[in-house]
Chain A
Amino acid sequence: GAGVSQSPSNKVTEKGKDVELRCDPISGHTALYWYRQSLGQGLEFLIYFQGNSAPDKSGLPSDRFSAERTGGSVSTLTIQRTQQEDSAVYLCASSATSGSRGTQYFGPGTRLTVL
Chain B
Amino acid sequence: GENVEQHPSTLSVQEGDSAVIKCTYSDSASNYFPWYKQELGKRPQLIIDIRSNVGEKKDQRIAVTLNKTAKHFSLHITETQPEDSAVYFCAANQAGTALIFGKGTTLSVSS
Contact = CB atoms under 8 A, between A and B. Distances in A.
Contact residues on A (Cβ < 8 Å of other chain), bracket? 20 to 34
Nearest to A99: B95
Contacts of A109: 43
Interface in A43-58: 43-45, 48, 50, 56, 58
Contacts of A50: 96
A45 B100 contact: yes
Interface of A: 33, 35, 41-45, 48, 50, 56, 58-59, 91, 98-101, 103-109
Contacts of B51: 100
A99 B43 contact: no
Interface string B24-65: 000000011010100000111110010110000000000000
Interface stretch (B13-21, B78-86, B101-109): B101-109
Contacts of B1: 58
Given A42-B89, A109-B43, A99 B102 contact: no
B99 interface: yes
A71 B96 CA distance: 20
